[in-house]
């Protein structure tokens, strides 16, 4: 299929790229027929999809709650209108009135141009689920995005960025394509950095028998070293026997973002086998929002073997040690004004309610390690997305401009806290994709803040005995 020039689109993976994931793209002349067959399969399997197709009354409440629409003012980025791109096809082929009356009831034939619209707009949705949280009917249009992306994947219409990340995890265990020797070298360097800056001896065990299996984001090896250093310092401080698995050194699960049938399950099994081989008792997840959502919410349904381990998040572990007074912390080491971005996949997708849920645990931590914490408005489950969720981190010129637009609402929230007024504030972003979005966006919007992970702040505030 030739590149579509009618709207902003991320660069597509080539046929050669797709072969790396054992996927053969569907020829153009068969794409429409195959897409209809796949859509039929999805509607028969997912009742939530049928609900989204048949229950929306176009009240428009989702419009002013979507950062993509607020940033672009593109009508197709209104969540219900984005879903309409697939709903009009659903009506045409799977409803009686659509088959009889066609356009009179908003039904349309599927065309290659329509599939190109799907590719453009379903990769402008960051799957943040804010629209679903305000919908009076409980319609989660994020699920429509997930189904559309799965169909597009089977057709061979996938962003090059996503395929590269998925292949990296399959090949070497992380989306950054870091082989084990490079990973070990990096960790040795970080040990030296901790000794030089904090005066503490810290090891990064790899593939060792341990009680705790720690799964960081691979971005922490390259872009967020203080997050990985903070995690290692915490485990050392509490005297844990811990290790990082080289075969699954990636907290993210790109399968959730475009291929839940094969890739997501494959990565689940890799982690399962690594934990079994290393004899661990607990798996602790690092700072990756969509990765945590995938493992916490989907793992039990995709693994065909008994789960023998507790699976928890590093934030929840640290919050427990703070509440039980087992960490000595000096918050004055983080003296700058700080605000907290709530990653969508933590607070809307999988955080239990109550004082010990992930949402409140993040606040237990940040209040313990800083002296000037300022909440954004709105916050918690009502927060706005960073604009880069679901790995919408494209560098194509048109799509990069979209990222700037997507982040405008979040930038306004950050600016309103005043943390960047004097140019020395901290934006705490406890998710690797959020960090990757914010690094350039705080410059684009001139916010005057430095991006840090939550565990970065913990590592700096620890007082060693």
Last residue within a domain, chosen from 124, 158, 192 = 158
Give me the sign of the Cα torsion angle 342, 128, 420, 374: negative
pLDDT at 308: 81
Range of the domain at 215: 166-461
CATH number at residue 30: 1.10.1060
Task: Give me the pLDDT at residue 6, please.
Answer: 52
Do residue 137 and residue 190 come from a single domain?
no
Identify whether residues 264 and 350 lie together within a single domain. Answer: yes
What does the pLDDT read at residue 1?
A: 43
Q: What is the mean pLDDT of each run of 10 residues along the chain (465 residues)?
A: 62 91 92 96 92 90 93 94 95 91 89 96 94 89 93 95 87 86 95 96 96 94 94 97 93 86 82 90 94 84 76 95 96 97 91 79 97 96 93 91 95 96 94 95 96 97 92
Domain match, 405 and 351 both: yes
Q: For position 2, what pLDDT does the model report? A: 42
Q: Single out the residue in 158, 174, 207 at which a domain terminates.
A: 158
Residue with tokens 């645990």: 361
* Domain final position from 104, 135, 158: 158
Residues 6+ apart with CB under 8 A from 339: 373, 374, 375, 376, 414, 417, 419, 425, 426, 427, 428, 449
Q: Does 272 share its domain with 393?
A: yes
Residue 237 near residue 201 (C-beta atoms within 8 A): no
User: Which residues does 236 contact at the CB level (< 8 Å), separation at least 6?
Assistant: 200, 201, 202, 203
Instruction: Report yes or no: 365 and 458 within 8 Å, Cβ to Cβ.
Output: yes
Record the pTM.
0.92
**Number of structural domains in the chain:** 2
**Do 318 and 348 sit in the same domain of this protein?**
yes
């Amino acid at each position: 299929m030739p590149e579509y020039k009618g709207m902003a689109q991320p660069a597509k993976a080539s046929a050669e790229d797709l072969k790396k994931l054992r996927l053969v793209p569907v020829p153009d002349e068969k794409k429409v027929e195959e897409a209809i067959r796949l859509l039929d399969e999805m509607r028969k399997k997912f009742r939530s999809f049928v609900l989204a197709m048949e229950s929306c009354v176009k009240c428009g409440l989702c419009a002013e709650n979507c950062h993509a629409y607020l940033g672009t003012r593109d009508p197709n980025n209104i969540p219900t209108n984005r879903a309409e791109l697939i709903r009009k096809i659903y009506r045409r082929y799977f409803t009686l009135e659509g088959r009889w009356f066609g356009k009179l009831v908003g039904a349309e034939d599927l065309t290659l141009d329509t599939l190109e619209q799907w590719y453009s707009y379903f990769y402008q949705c960051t799957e943040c689920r804010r629209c679903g949280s305000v919908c009076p009917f409980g319609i989660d249009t994020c699920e429509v995005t997930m189904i559309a992306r799965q169909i597009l994947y089977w057709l061979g219409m996938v962003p090059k960025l996503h395929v590269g990340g998925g292949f990296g995890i399959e090949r070497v265990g992380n989306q950054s394509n870091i082989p084990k020797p490079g990973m070990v070298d990096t960790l040795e360097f970080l040990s030296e950095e901790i000794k030089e800056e904090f005066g503490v001896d810290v090891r990064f065990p790899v593939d060792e028998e341990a009680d705790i299996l720690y799964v960081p984001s691979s971005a922490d090896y390259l872009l967020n070293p203080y997050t990985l250093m903070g995690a290692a310092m915490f485990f050392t401080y509490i005297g844990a026997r811990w290790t990082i698995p080289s075969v699954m050194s990636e907290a993210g699960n790109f399968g959730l973002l475009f291929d839940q049938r094969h890739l997501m399950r494959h990565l689940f099994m890799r982690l399962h086998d690594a934990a079994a081989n290393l004899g661990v008792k607990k798996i602790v997840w690092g700072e990756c929002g969509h990765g945590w959502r995938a493992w916490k919410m989907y793992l039990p349904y995709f693994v065909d073997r008994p789960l023998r381990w507790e699976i928890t998040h590093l934030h929840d572990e640290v919050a427990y040690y703070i509440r039980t007074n087992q960490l000595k912390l000096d918050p004055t080491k983080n003296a700058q004004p700080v605000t907290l971005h709530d990653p969508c996949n933590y607070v809307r997708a999988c955080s239990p309610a109550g004082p010990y849920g992930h949402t409140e645990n993040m606040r237990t931590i940040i209040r313990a390690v800083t002296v000037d914490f300022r909440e954004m408005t709105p916050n918690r489950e009502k927060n706005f997305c960073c604009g880069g969720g679901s790995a919408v981190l494209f560098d194509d010129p048109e799509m990069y401009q979209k990222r700037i637009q997507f982040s405008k609402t979040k930038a306004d929230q950050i600016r309103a806290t005043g943390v960047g007024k004097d140019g020395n504030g901290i934006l705490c972003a406890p998710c690797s994709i959020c960090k990757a979005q914010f690094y350039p966006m705080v410059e684009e919007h001139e916010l005057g803040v430095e991006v840090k992970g939550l565990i970065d702040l913990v590592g700096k505030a620890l007082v060693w005995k």
